[in-house]
Structure 1
Amino acid sequence: MAIGRSRLDKLLSEKLNIKRKDVRLLLAQKRVAVDGCLALDIDLIVDTFSQITVDDEPVQANQAKYVMLHKPVGVVSATKDDIHKTVIDLLDFEYKDSLHIAGRLDLNSSGLLLLTNDSRWSEMLSKPDNKVAKEYHVTLANKLTVDMIPAFLNGMYFEFEDITTKPATLEILSDYVAKVELIEGKYHQIKRMFGRFRNPVVKLHRQSIGNLQLDATLMPGESRELHPFEVQSI
């Protein structure tokens, strides 16, 4: 959901289909509340998720929603798809059709996927300048080598897009498994970076976004709403 911002008098005029001078009267009579507080200022800026009442009756009651999903392999990160099951199809929430994906995973990847109707929050997660790190566990077809570590850290140039990736950390966990942390998500970035070493990715699993870890109790395909402290933790 795009987060619209507006002056309170303009919004109430549109919602109640009344003139703005009548809105001023409502405010003067102390009949309007925003987020539980008495509203007196016609210039007050409200947004899509501001809780607004007139005479204790709701005029706007949109709720921001934040969902964590354990995405399984074989499910597409999309709201609609004619071929594959989508992540939206896995959800049981009645508001699921209002959600969009905050950071996709490709069809053959698994792990932590976040969905929301709060576009400001999802944009915050996706901007590299905000340095929200994503952690992935990667299983490779061939043995890992230590020379990969500085290559990931220094960034790699992709000629097709004419870009150099931002520094990423690579930790070798075993001969064939690595932990990769990066703050951006270019198209198939991790697979392409390992591709420079002719080492195909067998499995790709996202374990965390920022400080938010995938809930270990969620089985593939299961989801839950985020707790308020989790929303703020990223």
Structure 2
Amino acid sequence: MRLDYFLAHSAGLTRKEAKQLISRGAVTVEGEARSKANLQLREGQGVWLHGEPVQLPGHRYLMLHKPAGVVCSTDDPEHRTVLDLLPAELRQDLHPAGRLDRDTTGLVLLTTDGQWSHRLTSPSHQCDKRYRVSCAEPVGDEDLQALRDGILLRGEDSPTLPAKAERVGVDQLLLTIREGRYHQVKRMLAARGNKVVALHREQIGEIVLDADLAPGEFRALSEEEIHSL
């Protein structure tokens, strides 16, 4: 495993932060200062940051900025998956906690912790998820109110839970929902006679997509982020 990957995931840092610390000589391996982020660690080697030992946690928790065209799956014969965006040494036992459509971008959480994943995705926990939605047509006040009240989707017996809806442009809004129905955001706007042309998830619970992550990049979650869900 590369030294910068190890440090990022053991100390809750971004890859950029890990590389900066390594280049400054703050990281030692078996007592020897190492300044190259791409150093390949051998199994069992000890790593210290500022003189304190660091090690990988029992479970791994990552946030990923998913680009369009990537599927939230551990394996797909036709499309690139979120795991394909990670280095091979980090993929083992990881799974996405919740899903995004292939054309939807933004925050995806990945973990090896099944119980944590269940808390995040279980309908009984009603975890807020905030999306930036771009529509084909203008979004009116009546549309916003309908989203806030709950919408009966085609083919379903009960309306959606009340959502938080804020217009941020003539045809754009921030929409926060607590459910995870099939294509829910797209179907909610379709029920109002509109069409979603771009969808980007910005936040899950208290975890906000890191602005420093470009599409396809990832980082380890901090302890505070992990325990916020």
Superposition TM-score tier, normalisation by shorter sequence: 0.7 to 0.9
Corresponding residue number in structure 2 for 1:167: 162
Report if aligned partners of 1:158, 1:164 keep a CA contact under 8 Å in 2: yes
TM-score (norm 2): 0.72
Contact 2:202 2:208 survives alignment (8 Å):
yes
Give distance in 1, aligned partners of 2:175 and 2:200.
10
Offset at 1:228? 1.1
Alignment of 1:19-168 (within 5 A): 63-92=58-87, 94-168=89-163
Percent of aligned pairs with the same amino acid? 43
For 2:223 and 2:144, locate their aligned partners in 1 and report how far apart those are by CA, in whole Å. 36
- How many residue pairs end up in the alignment? 174
Between stretches 115-124 and 125-134, larger displacement belongs to: 125-134
Name the counterpart of 2:179: 184
| Aligned counterparts of 2:212 and 2:90: Cα–Cα separation in 1 | 23
Instruction: Deviation per CA, 1:107-166: give whole Å up to 9, x if none.
Output: 000000001111111111112332321000000111110101221122122352433211
Q: Do 1:88 and 1:97's aligned partners in 2 also have CA atoms closer than 8 Å?
A: no
- 1:92 Cα deviation after fit: 1.5
- Greater Rg over alpha carbons, structure: 1
Shift of 1:82: 1.1
Structure 2: distance between partners of 1:119 and 1:154? 33
- Measure, in 1, the Cα distance between the counterparts of 2:223 and 2:126: 21
**CA pair 159-139 structure 1, distance change in 2 beyond 3 A:** closer
Backbone CA RMSD of aligned residues: 1.6
CA contact under 8 A between 2:134 and 2:171: conserved in structure 1?
A: yes
Is 2:111–2:117's contact at 8 Å kept on the other side of the alignment?
A: yes
Match of 2:216 in 1: 221
Contact 1:70 1:214 in 2 (8 A): yes
Structure 2 runs not aligned, ≥5 long: 1-55
> Do 2:153 and 2:191's aligned partners in 1 also have CA atoms closer than 8 Å?
no
Per-residue deviation at 1:67? 0.7
Q: Please report the TM-score for the alignment, with normalisation by the length of structure 1.
A: 0.71
**Alpha-carbon distance in structure 1 between the residues aligned to 2:223 and 2:68:** 28
Is residue 127–residue 184 contact of structure 1 (8 Å, CA) maintained in 2? no
Provide the C-alpha distance between the structure 1 equivalents of 2:124 and 2:165, rounded to a whole number of angstroms.
20
Which stretch has the larger CA shift, 129-138 or 66-75? 129-138
What is the match of residue 209 of structure 1? 204
Kindly indicate whether residue 219 of structure 2 is the aligned counterpart of residue 195 of structure 1.
Answer: no
Contact preservation (8 Å) 2:203, 2:209: yes
Q: RCO (CA 8 Å, sep 6+): is it higher in 1 or 2?
A: 2
Deviation at residue 76 of structure 1 after TM alignment: 0.7
| Secondary structure at the counterpart of residue 89 of structure 2 | coil
